[in-house]
Amino acid sequence: MAGRPKNFDESTTLEKAMELFWEKGYDCTGISDLETSLGLGRQSIYNTFGDKRSLFLKAFHHYASTRSGAMVALLQQPGTAEKKIDRFLTALINMQCRNERTGCLLANSVSSSMQSDPEAAAIVDASLKRLHKELSNTLVDIFPHASERNKTAWLLVNTAQGLCILSKSGQSKNTLTGIKNQTLTLISSAATH
């Protein structure tokens, strides 16, 4: 006996779930919240995506391939290393200041109960390492020595995550832009020594 055909788009529904987890966090999102936000009954959610954890992991994969992927792509565009990093951090700040929920799904996930989930931790780790690798590649012209490049790339990963957290705490765009500018100054200064 065949089941009823789905009358919703899974990709759009996954986007809505991602937005809800991003806004409320994993711990504060209940199945009733998901039902309301997705416009689906509990059974449809379970049949399509599995339990809340499974839906979160699928939403997080979606985030990593769409939002994080788009941010990383900014580092691959033409320009000097300084210009690429400026473009990346500026876009991050603009995204944070444009969104009501603020923060970053990646950073928010690290601070939730999902941090003890091995699969979620692996997704977070892979996302951070992907960003680190792109930043490290961006810094080749500034820091020819791999050890300096590696440390500076991790500093920039930390800066990016810190900007998200500061935005979530209500810091102004001017404060975030000041941090970005100081970071770029420090990198340029270290590169000349």
Secondary structure in 3-state letters for 39-83: CCCHHHHHHHHCCHHHHHHHHHHHHHHHHHHHHHHHCCCCCCHHH
Q: Indicate the average pLDDT of the chain.
A: 86
In a domain, 148, yes or no: yes
Q: Report the pLDDT value the prediction gives residue 98, as an integer from 0 to 100.
A: 79
Tell whether 52 is covered by a domain: no
Q: What CA–CA distance (Å, rounded) separates 17 from 33?
A: 10
Residue that is written with structure tokens 């500076």 in the block: 152
Percentage of residues of the chain with pLDDT beyond 90: 44
Q: Residue 2's pLDDT is what?
A: 47
Q: What's the mean pLDDT in 172-191?
A: 92
Report if residue 103 sits inside a domain.
Answer: yes
pLDDT band, very low/low/confident/very high, at 176 (cuts 50, 70, 90):
very high
Phi, psi for 163 (deg, rounded to 5): -60, -40
Domain total in the chain = 1
- The dihedral formed by the CA atoms of 130, 134, 136 and 139, expressed in degrees to the nearest 10: -160
Give the residue, 1 or 113, on which the prediction is more confident.
Answer: 113
Summarised one tens digit per residue, pLDDT across range 5-60 is: 466 788 888 989 988 888 888 888 899 999 999 999 899 899 989 999 899 999 98
The CATH number linked to 125 is 1.10.357.10
Tell me, yes or no, whether 53 lies in a domain.
Answer: no
Question: What mean pLDDT is predicted for residues 60-68?
Answer: 83
| Residue 172, domain member (yes or no) | yes
Q: Please provide the DSSP assignment of 158-180 as one string.
A: HHHHHHHHHHHTT--HHHHHHHH
Report residue 96's pLDDT band, with 50, 70 and 90 as the boundaries: confident
Domain that holds residue 101: 60-191
Q: Give Cβ neighbours of residue 49 (< 8 Å, ≥ 6 apart).
A: 14, 17, 55, 58
Residue 82 domain flag: yes
How confident is residue 70, by pLDDT bands cut at 50, 70 and 90? confident
User: At residue 112, does pLDDT exceed 90?
Assistant: no
Residue 131 clears pLDDT 50, i.e. is over it: yes
pLDDT value of residue 25: 82
Which residue, 9, 22, 17, 10, is CA-closest to 35? 17
Instruction: Assign 192 a pLDDT band (cuts: 50, 70, 90).
Output: low
Evaluate whether residue 65 is within a structural domain.
Answer: yes
In a domain, 173, yes or no: yes
Does residue 1 carry a pLDDT above 50? no
